[in-house]
């Protein structure tokens, strides 16, 4: 890539000369936690059983790229969620989860320009499906938390359920999902935009024609075509015009 340039305050671009046109792209893929939404859901769920600090430390190390085995790190964190109830997760959703500034505006602009939208998350379907519905996103892939059956039903077991596509949505799966959806739509990777904030987003960002780091970890900012370091997600529209 060419050297990064501050296109506007808090908005850095590298590897191309802006502005681009949104209509030159056909698919945009978003990470969820700390990208479309303001929290890391796994950390907030852990707060219900007094383990937020322990879980958040693992999350931070994974997002910074200091832990390279995302699957192992996620299993460690999910194991610490054993006993959390569906009611606890409902409270996280209603009391703590908010869309990040500009998320709704950016998704709406993309939809208006004819792009398909994809949410691909290392988080959980409990939240991802709701965010999908709220924003009108076309496709979603995330992890499924296992619930106890029997007398203790409605509480987490501390495990994830395998799905038809695999066991855990990590960085490699995010990349594969982006390319799979693009292929199903008859698109080339160059027609895709990928937006994320953590190290596990880098594989899909590297596969896309345009990569966007939103309020991201340093390892992600330095590798993205666009880094939004101040303001909301709608600032992408300053670089990629509707």
Active site residues per annotation: 31, 33
Peptide bond before 67: cis, by omega within 30 degrees of 0? no
Query: Could you give the CA distance from residue 236 to residue 123 in angstroms, rounded to a whole number?
Result: 24
What is the gyration radius of the CA atoms in the chain, in angstroms?
Answer: 18
Query: Could you give the CA distance from residue 124 to residue 131 in angstroms, rounded to a whole number?
Result: 11
Helices (H), 64-102: 70-79, 86-91
Tokens representing 117? Answer: 């939208």
Of the candidates 3, 13, 1, the one whose C-alpha atom is nearest the C-alpha of residue 229 is 13
The number of residues making up the chain comes to: 242
Query: Could you give the CA distance from residue 39 to residue 99 in angstroms, rounded to a whole number?
Result: 9
């Amino acid at each position: 890539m060419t050297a990064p340039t501050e296109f506007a305050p808090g908005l850095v671009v590298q590897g191309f000369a802006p502005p681009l046109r949104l209509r030159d792209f056909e698919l945009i893929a978003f990470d969820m936690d700390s990208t479309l939404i303001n929290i890391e859901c796994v950390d907030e769920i852990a707060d219900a059983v007094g383990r937020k600090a322990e879980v958040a430390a693992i999350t931070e190390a994974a997002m910074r790229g200091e832990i390279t085995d995302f699957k192992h790190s996620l299993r460690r964190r999910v194991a610490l969620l054993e006993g959390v109830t569906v009611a606890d997760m409902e409270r996280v959703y209603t009391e703590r989860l908010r869309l990040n500034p500009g998320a709704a505006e950016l998704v709406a602009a993309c939809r208006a320009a004819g792009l398909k939208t994809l949410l691909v998350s290392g988080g959980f379907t409990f939240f991802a499906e709701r965010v999908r519905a709220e924003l009108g996103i076309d496709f979603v892939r995330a992890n499924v938390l296992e619930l106890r059956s029997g007398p203790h039903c409605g509480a987490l077991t501390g495990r994830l359920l395998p799905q038809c596509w695999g066991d855990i949505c990590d960085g490699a799966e995010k990349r594969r999902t982006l390319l799979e959806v693009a292929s199903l739509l008859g698109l080339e990777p160059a027609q895709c935009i990928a937006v994320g904030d953590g190290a596990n987003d880098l594989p899909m960002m590297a596969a896309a024609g345009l990569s966007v780091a939103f309020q991201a970890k340093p390892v992600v900012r330095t590798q993205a075509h666009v880094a939004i370091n101040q303001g909301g997600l709608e600032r992408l529209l300053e670089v990629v015009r509707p």
